[in-house]
Amino acid sequence: MHVTIGNHMKLNAPSALRDLLRVFYIDVLGCRTVAAPRPEFDLYEFAGGFVVGMFFGDDREVLTEQDQLKAAWLELKTSDPAALRQRLLEFGVRPVDYPDPTRFYFQAPGGQVWRVAPADGGV
């Protein structure tokens, strides 16, 4: 048996952050929107075809930003990590203190933690 990870991921976020998350994924990260089959979520496609499904709900349906620090962390790869870091900071993400000086870790709106890594780098 051969197992591989797919190209879709689901995240939950507060409904109040929908507009801000659209700016984050479209304007800051350069994703394109994909038609979503239901009005309560948005789909964002990264270069390469990876799709984030962002489901919006009330506070009972989402993790707090503090709880997100204990949830899965994700990685963004780019040809220019320094430029992306600057763009993210200008947008207003919250840096996350983590003992890895080779990467930039941050929380996106809603609390999801990401790290920025070079596209041609290893682990």
Domain-embedded: residue 23: yes
Least confident of 4-8, 18-22, 101-105, 106-110: 4-8
Domain residues for 47?
8-118
pTM: 0.91
Domain-embedded: residue 3: no
**Burial status of residue 59 (CB atoms within 10 A of its CB: 0-12, 13-18, 19 or more):** exposed
Domains: count for the chain: 1
pLDDT tens, 72-90? Answer: 999 999 999 999 999 999 9
pLDDT tens, 22-55? Answer: 999 999 999 999 999 889 899 999 999 999 999 9
Domain-embedded: residue 96: yes
Give the tokens for residue 43: 């789909």
pLDDT at 16: 94
The answer on pLDDT for 112 being more than 80 is yes
Q: Rounded to whole angstroms, how far apart are CA atoms 9 and 76?
A: 14
CA distances from 26 to 20, 29, 82, 108 (A): 10, 6, 19, 13
CATH number at residue 107: 3.10.180.10
Domain-embedded: residue 50: yes
Q: Which helix (H) or strand (E) holds 13?
A: strand 8-14
